[in-house]
Structure 1
C-alpha cells in the first residue's frame, strides 16, 4: 500500500491568509537564497483552524539548516504573534534538501505525505512513493525514543502548571501518533485528526484501550497530575518500544 498525501490541496481560511503570507514574506526576506521551499501541515492549510486555539505549523526546506539564524526567526515569530493574536503558536521546522531526498522514510515522508507546499518548488515530488511496510514503520520511529526522553525530562522538571499542561498535551499527541504508526498496515492511510487516530487505535491497536482513552483525554487538556500522566505515558511507550523491537526482530529473521 502506498501512502497518499494527508492534505491534497491548500484550503486556507480567509482570516489566516494574511498571516500566512506575511510570515512567509518575512522569512524569505530575512533568509533570501538560503530557502528552497516552504510547507505547512495541520489545520490551517486544511481550512479547519480555530482562532485562538490552532497553531501554525511550517516546515522550511533549505540547503543547510545550520545557516539559519534562529534568533532572527524567533523575532519574526514574536512580532507576528502580537500582530495576529488568534494564532496560538508558530512552529517552524527546518530540514535539508539532502535529508528529504536521501531519507525518504523520514524527512521524505514528512514533506511528501504530511505537508503541502505553500511556496517554492515542491521537493516532495522528487521523493519516491512511500510504501507501507515494517521497514518504513521502523524508519519512521528512528527518533521516537530520543524525542520521548527529551519531552519526559522537560515535563518532569517543569514546575509551572500551564507549562506542565502544555507538555502533557504535546507528549500525549506524540505518543498517540507513534502508536498510530504501528497500525499503518491495518489502516493503509496516515491520519492527522486526533479523533480519527483515537478511533483507529481503539479498533486496531493491541494496547489496553484505557491507555488510549487516557492519552486522548490528556491531549484534550485533562487536569491530570504529572505523576499520573507519566505512569500512563511510560506504559504506552513500553508498548511502542516492545512492538518496534518485535518488528525489527521479525525483519531480521525473514532476511536469513
Structure 2
C-alpha cells in the first residue's frame, strides 16, 4: 500500500497569506543563495488555521544545513511573531537535499508526504513512492527515542509554566504520533488530524485506552497538568511503543 500526500493542494486563508509571503521573503534575503526550497505543513496550508490558536510549521531544504544560522533564523521568527500576533509560534525544520533523497523513509517521508512546497522546486517529487511496511515504520521511528528523551529532559528541567505547558502539549502529540505509526498497516493513510490518530490507535492498538485518552486530554489542555504524573504516564506509553517496535523488528528479522 502506497502512502498518499497529506495535503493535496494549498489553501492558505487570507489572514495568513501576507505572513507566509513575508516569511519566504525574509528567509531568502537573510540566507541569499543558500535555500533550495521551502515547505509548510499543518493547518495553515490546509486552510484550517485558527487565529491566535494555530502555529506555523516550515521546513527549509538546502544543500548544507550549516549554512542556516539558527540565531539569525530566530530573529526572523521573533520579528514576524511581533508583526503577526495571530500566530502562537513559528517552527522551522532544516534538512539537506541529500537527507531527503538518501533517507526516503525518514526525511523523504516528511517532505513528500507531510509537507507542501511553497517556494522552489519540490524535492519530494524525486522521492520514490513510499510503501507502508514494517521496514518503513521502523525507519520512520529511527529518531523517536532521541526526540522523546530530549523533550523528557526539557520538561523535567522546566521551571517556567509557559514552557511546561508547551512541552507537555508537544510531548503528548509526539507520543500519539509514534503510536499512530504502529497502526499504519491497518489504516493505510498518514493522518495529521490528532483526533483521527487517537481514534485509530484506540481501534487497532492493544494499549490501555485510558493512557491514550490522558495524552489526548493533555494535548488539548496542558495548563493544569501535573508534570510528575504526566512524565510517569508518558514513560508507560513509550514503554508500550518501544516493546511494539522491538516486536516488529524481531518479526521482520525472522522473515529475512
Tell whether the structures are fold-level matches, with TM greater than 0.5.
yes
1:234 matched to 2:231: no
Aligned counterparts, 1:66-215, within 5 A: 66-215=66-215
Q: What displacement does 1:162 show?
A: 1.9
For 2:171 and 2:54, locate their aligned partners in 1 and report how far apart those are by CA, in whole Å.
17
Unaligned runs of 5+ in 1: none
Q: What displacement does 1:205 show?
A: 1.2
For 1:214 and 1:75, locate their aligned partners in 2 and report how far apart those are by CA, in whole Å.
36
1:224 matched to 2:217: no
For 2:159 and 2:60, locate their aligned partners in 1 and report how far apart those are by CA, in whole Å.
33
For 2:91 and 2:178, locate their aligned partners in 1 and report how far apart those are by CA, in whole Å.
20
Q: What displacement does 1:231 show?
A: 1.3
Q: TM-score, normalised by structure 2?
A: 0.98
SS, match of residue 104 in structure 1: coil
Q: TM-score, normalised by structure 1?
A: 0.98
Partner of 1:247: 248
SS, match of residue 101 in structure 2: helix
Deviations 1:10-51 (Å, cap 9, x if unpaired)? 000000000000000110111121110000000000000001
SS, match of residue 230 in structure 1: helix
Deviations 1:145-192 (Å, cap 9, x if unpaired)? 000001001111112222111111100000000000000000000000
Report how many aligned residue pairs link the two structures: 255
Deviations 1:85-128 (Å, cap 9, x if unpaired)? 11111100110000100000000000000000011111100000
For 2:151 and 2:72, locate their aligned partners in 1 and report how far apart those are by CA, in whole Å.
25
CA RMSD of aligned residues (A): 0.7
SS, match of residue 33 in structure 1: coil
For 2:20 and 2:153, locate their aligned partners in 1 and report how far apart those are by CA, in whole Å.
33
Q: What displacement does 1:73 show?
A: 0.9
SS, match of residue 12 in structure 2: coil
For 2:6 and 2:97, locate their aligned partners in 1 and report how far apart those are by CA, in whole Å.
21
For 1:159 and 1:72, locate their aligned partners in 2 and report how far apart those are by CA, in whole Å.
26
For 2:73 and 2:165, locate their aligned partners in 1 and report how far apart those are by CA, in whole Å.
26
SS, match of residue 108 in structure 2: helix
Deviations 1:193-244 (Å, cap 9, x if unpaired)? 1111111111111111001100000001142200111111011000110011
For 1:239 and 1:85, locate their aligned partners in 2 and report how far apart those are by CA, in whole Å.
39
Unaligned runs of 5+ in 2: none
